[in-house]
Amino acid sequence: MESIKTQRIPNSAIRLMVEAAGRMEHEGREVIHLEIGRPDFDPPKHVVEACIEALRAGKHHYCANAGILELRRAIARRFADENRLQYDPESEVIVTNGVAEAVYLAMNALLNPGDQILIPDPGWLNYAVDAITAYAEPVSYTLSAANGYQPDVDEIADKITSRTRMIMVVSPSNPVGAVTKPAALEGIAALAQKHDLIVVSDEIYEKIIYPPARHHSIACLPGMKERTLLVNGFSKFWSMTGWRLGYALGPRQLIDPMVRYHLFLLTSVATFPQYGALAALNGDQSPCYAMVAELQKRRDFLAPAVNRIPGFSCLMPEGAFYVFVDARAAGMDGYRLSNLLLEEAGVVTVAGECFGNNGAGHIRLALTCPLEKLRKAASNMQEVMNRLMRAKS
């Protein structure tokens, strides 16, 4: 008999699409994968070698619950150098099982039952589900293409109640690819200080950004470091998704409860991959920037191609590696459209409903396959949508 809590936790529609595509591939059909949020690049070679060397050197036993100190020092040093934010690596940094655990810990260690947390919609499903696991109430604020997917500070202000305890800020955004502008961050910061809110800033895509867009961290604003949890990790920029390495930085009064919760949840992150993460921070970054340049080429092709497909429209993403497609003109929800594109175009996409109510009638495309496959995917989708929109008219 499952708990009341798990009854509210859905299956991942993304994984269901992956499984459906796998069945098609098993039958010998060609499928183009645009669904999974992982780069199709290997981690830099020096990162892999550092992990292997750590194993050979016997660095495979328990480590400190918050992560190896060398890595925590490197994380703190990076934010001091790049953001002029000073964190004590011994008490203000925790290494987590990906950003997923960092977000989970933030909510489960810092929220009480009945607290409210403001989350973006569309946004990563984990934000709402993690709130549910903490017996808190997720309250969505709107990201709309009409204003470039920027948070509406007035709307957020209207949704704050006496039970609001936390707000999620996500930039660059999954699934919409928007970079939050300084004016919106300043407005959210003012609300956070006025209402004594904790800000959780998910910045996992901060280095996957396309000029002239620039990343700005809310923690850098006056008075915000003291109430902000920065969550980040190695999955995206270093293409280390399967390594499950993330981290959180924040004031000790926020990090300490997370460390204690983490201790009894996981004990610690695996030791030897952390030496790979240390090499990622300290080593050559050029392979990662080369990946970002390639992702930009794919974006520069796919977003205009989407806008030429009947029934589709999108904004040019400024960061991350997704194109969020408004397909409401097709007259069906995102789930039906995703299934149609899989069956008839051989293209795996994700229904926008996976990311919240404001994603209804949308699909997400990931820039995570080579350009030649993106060209074929766009051609296949255009053929399907040509037929569909002709039939509608």
Fold of 45-282: Aspartate Aminotransferase; domain 2 (3.40.640)
* Residue with token string 């092709």: 301
Of 16 and 300, more confident:
300
pTM of the model: 0.94
- Residue 265 near residue 315 (C-beta atoms within 8 A): no
In CATH, what number does 4-42+286-384 get? 3.90.1150.10
Of 23 and 100, more confident:
100
Tens digit of each residue's pLDDT (9 = 90 or more) over 234-275? 999 999 999 999 999 999 999 999 999 999 999 999 999 999
Tens digit of each residue's pLDDT (9 = 90 or more) over 27-42? 888 899 999 889 999 9
> How large is the angle between the packed helices 69-83 and 271-282, nearest 10 degrees?
30
Res. 16 pLDDT band, cuts 50 70 90: confident
* AA letter at 182: P
pLDDT greater than 90 at residue 391: no
Q: How far apart are CA 257 and CA 106, in angstroms?
A: 9
Q: Work out the number of other CB atoms within 10 angstroms of the CB of residue 71.
A: 28
What are the residue ranges of helices labelled H in 173-239? 182-195
pLDDT of residue 19: 80
pLDDT greater than 80 at residue 285: yes
Of 80, 356, 124, whose CA–CA distance to 230 is shortest? 80
The gap from C-alpha 97 to its chain's centroid, in whole angstroms, comes to 14
- Domain spans of the chain? 4-42+286-384, 45-282
Please report how many Cα atoms fall inside a 13 Å half-sphere around the Cα of residue 58, on the Cβ side: 0
The mean pLDDT value for 346-368 works out to 96
Q: How far apart are CA 322 and CA 178, in angstroms?
A: 10
DSSP 8-state class, residue 319: B
pLDDT greater than 90 at residue 20: no
* AA letter at 108: N
Report, in this order, helix, strand and coil percent for the chain, each rounded to 5. 50, 15, 35
How far from 20 is each of 193, 211, 350, CA to CA, in Å? Answer: 46, 36, 12
Q: How far apart are CA 310 and CA 381, in angstroms?
A: 9
Res. 225 pLDDT band, cuts 50 70 90: very high
Question: Helix or strand or coil: residue 22?
Answer: helix
Identify any residues that bridge with 232 across adjacent strands, giving them in sequence order: 247
The gap from C-alpha 373 to its chain's centroid, in whole angstroms, comes to 24
DSSP 8-state class, residue 64: -
How far from 372 is each of 47, 302, 375, CA to CA, in Å? Answer: 28, 11, 5
Q: Work out the number of other CB atoms within 10 angstroms of the CB of residue 275.
A: 21
Q: What are phi and psi of 97, to 5 degrees?
A: -80, 75
pLDDT of residue 356: 96
Q: How far apart are CA 276 and CA 71, in angstroms?
A: 10
DSSP 8-state class, residue 162: T
